[in-house]
Amino acid sequence: MTARAVAADVLRRSRQKEAFAAELIESAAPHLSPQDRRLVVQLVMGVLRRRGTLDALIAPFLTRPFRDLHPDTLDLLRLGAFQLAFLTHVPKHAAVHETVEITPPVVKKFVNAILRKVAEVVTDEFTGAMGADAVPVDLVNRGCQPAGGVPNPAADTAGSPYRRLTRPLLPDPATDFPAYLAAAFSWPRWLADRWLARHGRDECVRLGFWFNAPPPLWLRVNTTKIDRADYLLQLAAKSIDAAAGDHPQAVRLLEGVSVRELPEYDAGLFAVQDHSSMLVASALAPQPGWSVLDLCAAPGGKTTHLAEFMRNTGRIVACDIVAKRLDSVTALCQRMGVTIVEPAVLTDGTDAPPGPFDAAVVDVPCSNTGVLGRRPEVRWRLHPSEFEHLIRLQTRLLFTALDRVRPGGVVVYSTCSVEPDENGGVVRAVMQGMRRLTLEAEHTAVPGQPSDGGYWARIRKA
């Protein structure tokens, strides 16, 4: 299978909700060259991020509604349109030809005709002004910013982060900015309305560029085995461009590389973990010898980070409601040399071991709105009606964690959401319903400053 065929297959499986796209890509193409594998990542994640924009480019040339198209055909149209509009290093004729080559014979002519019309409307001209005929582009893929950098339209060397179309295909931002925001930056309309009311125009545009660019890859150095400075030297010796992050264990990779090919992967000198996610275990800062409950542990990044703070002494009970997800925790622990973790499969999270524990982390299921770039499917799977259910679940899990710690113990509540109702709203509701709690600290990570968005709160039980 070619890279484009693999990408189409991953898009189909992602649509069928087999798993998140990043997980599907990991196992989908072991035979591909590193270059083709990078193209698969670029295509799949790009199509998922820019689906709303791609549909706006395709729709004017269709003679039937989207609902009448076979989902596989629509995936192929989006795959081709993404290359035409956003991958400036792919010639237009190649984008059309290679996509048509993987199209079933019965719809080849149809797909070819639509993609040729999209190719005609996309120009090679770039501008600094948004408009109904201007599509915001991915500054990283365009080559204006490094892969590990922070997307920022002001840093575009050409000062032109919008690609011109020959005709207006997007809503006019001057007359309907929410509709433009939704189509141009590829958000569901309800989310565009929600964020525009909260953040205002300028911040929504900044978030749009951030969430539509490949997120930087962060590593957490395993300081039980090596100092960060020494690991940076190992990366430099392999000519891998990297930089230290603000967190004392954080390393940001400044170029696209295969994680498994990094120095001492098998030896467990590092874990892949976003910068904002590293802040959670640091907020708890468990001591060696403690007993810690990790109530929602999979895939294990925070679990192993807790173990590093504890110098691999003490006890961590890592819980999840899906046994298979705990396999990833066990595998990461083995690679990182962590031996103090006990996996525990729960029914609904409220049946956690009774403890009492010295501390607990409850990284709750959430809307994932802080990681829309890393998990782009979320913007199309999430519905506003789900927040009520999520908040009830988050509240119940936080109550459970607080119940399981001893008097004087500490709980850190965290999400990868930027929705206040899931964050401080849950914490304050629980504190009103449960006496003798003290909110010692809380932090909101803003998307793009410098990594994913998220939240944590440290609560002490009297």
Q: Which residues contact 34 (CB under 8 A, 6 or more apart)?
A: 258
217-221 vs 270-272, strand pairing mode: antiparallel
In the DSSP assignment, the letter for residue 215 is: P
User: Does residue 144 carry a catalytic annotation?
Assistant: no
On the 0-12 / 13-18 / 19+ scale of CB atoms within 10 A, 439 is middle
315-320 vs 341-345, strand pairing mode: parallel
291-294 vs 270-272, strand pairing mode: unpaired
CB 332 within 8 A of CB 301: yes
DSSP per residue, 46-112: HHHHTHHHHHHHHGGG-SS-GGGS-HHHHHHHHHHHHHHHH-TTS-HHHHHHHHHHTS-GGGHHHHH
Show the tokens assigned to 9: 């297959």
CB 436 within 8 A of CB 461: yes
122-127 vs 162-165, strand pairing mode: antiparallel
Strands (E), 210-356: 217-221, 242-244, 250-253, 270-272, 291-294, 315-320, 341-345
CA angle 359/286/300 to nearest 5° reads 85
The catalytically annotated residue of 204, 319, 333, 416 is: 416
d(CA 374, CA 214): 7
On the 0-12 / 13-18 / 19+ scale of CB atoms within 10 A, 377 is buried
On the 0-12 / 13-18 / 19+ scale of CB atoms within 10 A, 315 is middle
Residues annotated as catalytic are 416
